[in-house]
Structure 1
Amino acid sequence: RATGKVGVCIATSGPGATNLITGLATAMMDSSPVVAITGQVTVPAIGSDAFQETDVTGATLPVTKHNYLVTEVEELAYTIKEAFHIARTGRPGPVLIDVPKDVQNAVIEFVYPEEDIHLPGYRPPEGADDDEIEEMLDLLQNAQRPVILAGHGITMSGANAELQELAERAQIPITLTLLGKGAIPEDHPLVVGWMGMHGDAACNHAIQEADLLIALGMRFDDRVTGNIKTYSPNSKKIHIDIDPSELNKNIQVDVPVAGDLRTVLRQVLPKMQDTSHPEWLNRIRDWQEDADERDILKHDTSGKLLTAQVINDLWKYTDGNAITVSDVGQHQMIEAQYYPHQRPSTMLTSGGLGTMGFGFPASIGAKFGKPEEEVWAIVGDGGFQMTLCELATARQENINVNIAIINNGFLGMVRQWQELFYDRRYQSTPMLSPDFCKLAEAYGIPSMRVTDRSQVQESVEFARSIDGPVLIEYVV
């Protein structure tokens, strides 16, 4: 996710392979290129319920882009080359290779497969046809209240500059999906913010009132649309995506285009006339100002340390330039609101699957991938405890990652739903947590506990002074 390159993981047979399933499903939902290699019992033992035998290809079929069971060692090299090709082309995703033990142990004369990959039926789309381009140009030219919906596909296709040119030349406001954050600098005057269920009110107002939606590399998931029957009812819709199966899947659109975003935008931009929409932009600014007045940071909080304050101060004291890797929950949504990102691939999180426990181990991967970057794992007290065993990995490998635990003593988002939708019938949401600082110290990891906003700057300076993993507990 940090580099855009293929990530590789290796697991043993049986429980090792099945323990990959949640990670593979996470990668599948968020279009992360991964090649997973798993062990398997010997070919003659397959089907005999041998020790640690599992039907890995069957179990992972729904959560991978493709998978293989290699039964002949001569097939292994080409299979690996093919797997990398599938993982990183078209809509990226995870590919699994299951390798039986006798295939692993076989000795052969290795010859690298120099031939190109040819997969009948697998042809990722590239550009738009002439009719599609004309339809898009016509809608762009005549729209009075257009809105761009920018998703993760912008960054995956490298279309960041094209997105900015489209918005600036046509003066179209930009709304971002959760994984689209950072696709364009979020302080750009045309960026309205982040859309959807937990997003910015002004974004959602703009989408509902628009007469044209230009959806770029996003999939109209339910957290973005809410009730699809009432979603942006008066707008024409253009949808460009590399994955044809996403077109007209959740929302019916007027111009569906299956293609690489950068390629399609480069076809459109030379033919597009510049336009402006001053009244529409002013109306959106009014919505932004109205929402800004209700911002919790502008009101008295009686001295309590709030998650929004912690995140906003982390943004301030890291100059908004860190890679943040969020776990899943309340803190994830607050991070998306209060830590604006200026660069692509600097806000990493589990979006589609919502995998609690993702944040901390993923931050280790981000630091491996981008060792020169400052990396902060922003995790809740609940999600962190699902994968806190990776403290050993961070310490053993001396990974210079900063772990910010937002400790509110609850499964915050679940409790919020119980409060808002279930008459405050609270059940199973209070969290019993260890002393996180002592836990870190048991692993030989420096730590600090923050209970007051005045300590946040000190905590960032403390984290930056350590060459290795650091744990900061923010009691909110």
Structure 2
Amino acid sequence: MTTPNLTIRLTTAQALIKYLCAQYSVADGDRRRLVPATLGIFGHGNVAGLGQALDELADEMPFIQGRHEQYLAHISTAYAKASRRRAVLAVTASIGPGALNLVTAAGLATVNRIPLLLLPGDTYATRHQGPVLQQLEHPTEADATVNDAFRPVSRFFDRITRPEQLLTALPQAMRVLTSPTDAGAVVISLPQDVQSHAYDFPARFFEPRDWKIRRPLPDPEEVEDVVRLIRGADRPVIVAGGGIHYSDAHAALEALAAQTGIPVVETFGGKGAVTRNEWWQLGGVGLEGNFASNNLVKQADLVLSVGTRLTDFATGSQSLFEDPNVRFASLNIVDADTRKQGATGILADARLGLEALAVALKGQTTSKWWQDTVQSEKAHWAPIRSKWLDADTPYDAADHPDAPVTGALLTQPQLIGLMQEHARPGDTVIAAAGGPPGDLQKVWDATDNRHCHLEFGFSCMGYEIAAGMGVRLAQGNNDNRVVTFIGDGTFLMAPTEILTAAQEGLNVTIVVSENHGYQVIHRLQMNRSGKEFGNEFRYRTAAGSLATQGTPTTRLDGDYLRVDLRQIAEGLGALAIRATSAADVRQALESTRNTGGPVVIVVPTVPHVDLPGGDVWWDVAPAEVSRQEAVRGLRKEYELARGAQRWFG
């Protein structure tokens, strides 16, 4: 312990970094550095302050240089998710555009309740220099800066205008970062001048401090209320969400399901919640779920949700629960989520709540009829899944007359089948936006610890490549494979951090399904307007054509763009391979499993060939009025389907 009155004179930035170096999280006896490294890009708004501090304290706080601030923050978010929310990476940016590049990532982390620590520079707190480079001058709010954009998408925000404000701001920031209920983006906004200001900080402020990640106990009365519902149900179903992962509740969930015979389905966030392939394990549910899961939920008279927010993809925009007398129970650590659907709730840690339910339900089991129904649904889905994933049966264009002819030999489902065939226990596949996360939700077998890391709370394009790096940083360069699965649309949006992966020697693999466009939105567009517009990657038929008076513009309906994704990846430092056949893909995956640094495998896939839908509706409304006949017909279908929506209070 230090002398009570001892002080250390440090700049704001030096004090901030020194403090972060001394913070630890503690969960289930595991003590680790809460913030083990910082990522960032320097500009005039942070180089003289945070940049100097990170240089001075580089032995204690490693620094990772990046190419784009948003994707650096995604690395941190994926790192925190892979670390079960027990550690985070700090991210710093300069003022103005550098800071604003972090806002999307802040929204993603907050929506998904993942801790993220952002340290954006801000404009001068003093004003004698006049307006500075990249400063927003607001006409009626003189103290407003672009960093105020963080407020609605953050769990905690503070602007440090005096060095000593760190004494109260930083402990609050650590509290939020280690809170199971309040986790999300934490933003410490740092005016560029204040970063370099000095203060005599109490030496005790920099002593090591432990932050315990709590497990709230379930209330016995709440447990008994849910037990009564389960005992009175004929067709119960458990919907498992991401809370299973964060509370390490896999074993408790599996024990309850095996004991009671209640089938388990999984949300996007809960994918892989069940680690064993058992008769009661059904996989993904909802709009991109499989037939078996969705058919059971449609029949359910009791839905017990665990660790999930129950968003519209999981509930089919409130149309999935078809039993007229269906009831809901919920186990969640967030009070608001225990009350959704008018549920009878248990406010508690998922693992402890599931263990309490198992004790209270000892001897309780579902009927043989319901168990037979579960097994029958699963058996019905299995051959359908296998057929779609079979890469050794050549794609037959006659089965898909509307698919464009591109020369591709494989469909995207067949590519997933090859990736599944290659996956080993401990491997992780990652997806976030477009077709890949929905396809993985539907068909990926995440049992036996073939992890499936899906970010679908925000469905953020650009997360995926960065996320592969975050997962790898959390795991270290071990023998497990980290695979990011993306389309060419996502690849072209955010390939730059491949260079960072090469710089850091991170063993990540990126598999690109090259299907010439934003094809999942193309599919939705066809279902809601009946006509493709602006989603495929095509040349404009007349270059440079913009509408002028009396002259209609030409459209993006020429040939597909000619883009060499393999060459782009190679130019960014990756070992890049173009694989066209099933044999090529197998060879590429097997030969690069132990390759150091980033690997990119580009696979041409047939556009417009999609896995079968999950027979679940989604509320995306066609235009209410239109001159196009197809749109009018689709609007009528939509209004009819909307009748299935129900309110559960």
When normalised by structure 1's length, the TM-score is 0.91
1:271 pairs with 2:365: no
Partner SS, residue 461 of structure 1: helix
Deviation of 1:216 after TM superposition, in Å, equals: 0.2
Map Cα deviations across residues 236-295 of structure 1 (whole Å, 9 max, x no partner): 21112111122334x222x12322222323333322223222211211222233333444
Selected match of 2:236 from 128, 133, 146: 146
In the alignment, the residues of structure 1 paired with residue 284 and residue 444 of structure 2 have an alpha-carbon distance, to the nearest angstrom, of 11
Structure 1 match to 2:293: 203
Alignment length (residue pairs) = 469
Deviation of 1:465 after TM superposition, in Å, equals: 4.3
Q: Is the 8 A contact 2:108 2:457 kept in 1?
A: yes
The change in CA–CA distance for 1:362 and 1:447 in structure 2 (over 3 A counts) is same
Q: Is the 8 A contact 2:93 2:119 kept in 1?
A: yes
Structure 1 match to 2:205: 113
Q: Is the 8 A contact 1:6 1:84 kept in 2?
A: no
Pick which of 269-278 and 95-104 moved more.
Answer: 269-278
In the alignment, the residues of structure 2 paired with residue 252 and residue 345 of structure 1 have an alpha-carbon distance, to the nearest angstrom, of 35
Deviation of 1:408 after TM superposition, in Å, equals: 0.8
Q: Is the 8 A contact 1:418 1:425 kept in 2?
A: yes
Structure 2 match to 1:378: 485
The change in CA–CA distance for 1:315 and 1:294 in structure 2 (over 3 A counts) is closer
1:97 pairs with 2:188: yes
Deviation of 1:26 after TM superposition, in Å, equals: 0.9
Pick which of 386-395 and 426-435 moved more.
Answer: 426-435
In the alignment, the residues of structure 1 paired with residue 483 and residue 428 of structure 2 have an alpha-carbon distance, to the nearest angstrom, of 6
Deviation of 1:59 after TM superposition, in Å, equals: 0.7
Structure 2 match to 1:256: 345
1:349 pairs with 2:454: yes
Letter aligned with residue 412 of structure 2:
T
Structure 2 match to 1:216: 306
Following superposition of structure 1 onto structure 2, how do residues 5-84 of structure 1 map, counting pairs within 5 Å? 5-45=87-127, 49-53=131-135, 55-84=145-174
In the alignment, the residues of structure 1 paired with residue 112 and residue 276 of structure 2 have an alpha-carbon distance, to the nearest angstrom, of 21
Question: How many percent of aligned residue pairs carry the same amino acid?
Answer: 25
Task: Give the aligned CA root-mean-square deviation in angstroms.
Answer: 2.6
Q: Is the 8 A contact 2:300 2:321 kept in 1?
A: no
In the alignment, the residues of structure 1 paired with residue 455 and residue 131 of structure 2 have an alpha-carbon distance, to the nearest angstrom, of 35
Structure 2 match to 1:418: 525
The change in CA–CA distance for 1:409 and 1:401 in structure 2 (over 3 A counts) is same
Partner SS, residue 365 of structure 2: coil
The change in CA–CA distance for 1:424 and 1:274 in structure 2 (over 3 A counts) is farther
The change in CA–CA distance for 1:230 and 1:79 in structure 2 (over 3 A counts) is same
Partner SS, residue 35 of structure 1: strand
Selected match of 1:168 from 242, 258, 262: 258
In the alignment, the residues of structure 1 paired with residue 204 and residue 508 of structure 2 have an alpha-carbon distance, to the nearest angstrom, of 37
Structure 2 match to 1:292: 382
Deviation of 1:203 after TM superposition, in Å, equals: 0.8
Unmatched segments (≥5 aa) in structure 1: 118-122
Q: Is the 8 A contact 1:363 1:401 kept in 2?
A: yes
The change in CA–CA distance for 1:76 and 1:245 in structure 2 (over 3 A counts) is same
Q: Is the 8 A contact 2:103 2:153 kept in 1?
A: yes
Deviation of 1:10 after TM superposition, in Å, equals: 1.3
The change in CA–CA distance for 1:40 and 1:57 in structure 2 (over 3 A counts) is closer
Map Cα deviations across residues 21-61 of structure 1 (whole Å, 9 max, x no partner): 11111111111111111111221239975322353552112
Map Cα deviations across residues 316-367 of structure 1 (whole Å, 9 max, x no partner): 1122541112141112222233332236793223211111111101111111
In the alignment, the residues of structure 1 paired with residue 346 and residue 450 of structure 2 have an alpha-carbon distance, to the nearest angstrom, of 25
Map Cα deviations across residues 343-396 of structure 1 (whole Å, 9 max, x no partner): 679322321111111110111111111112311111110011111111221222
1:470 pairs with 2:552: no
Structure 2 match to 1:120: none
Structure 1 match to 2:569: 440
In the alignment, the residues of structure 2 paired with residue 258 and residue 58 of structure 1 have an alpha-carbon distance, to the nearest angstrom, of 33
1:247 pairs with 2:338: yes
Higher CA-based Rg: 2
Deviation of 1:163 after TM superposition, in Å, equals: 1.1
1:3 pairs with 2:72: no
In the alignment, the residues of structure 2 paired with residue 265 and residue 115 of structure 1 have an alpha-carbon distance, to the nearest angstrom, of 37
Q: Is the 8 A contact 1:183 1:344 kept in 2?
A: no
Map Cα deviations across residues 302-326 of structure 1 (whole Å, 9 max, x no partner): 2831111111211211225411121
Structure 2 match to 1:307: 412
Letter aligned with residue 33 of structure 1:
P
Partner SS, residue 133 of structure 1: helix
Deviation of 1:404 after TM superposition, in Å, equals: 0.5
Pick which of 260-269 and 369-378 moved more.
Answer: 260-269
Letter aligned with residue 600 of structure 2:
L
Letter aligned with residue 279 of structure 2:
P
Letter aligned with residue 188 of structure 2:
I
In the alignment, the residues of structure 1 paired with residue 412 and residue 436 of structure 2 have an alpha-carbon distance, to the nearest angstrom, of 7
The change in CA–CA distance for 1:456 and 1:321 in structure 2 (over 3 A counts) is farther
Runs of 4+ in 1 over 6 A off after TM superposition: 114-117
Deviation of 1:223 after TM superposition, in Å, equals: 0.7
Selected match of 2:217 from 120, 127, 134: 127
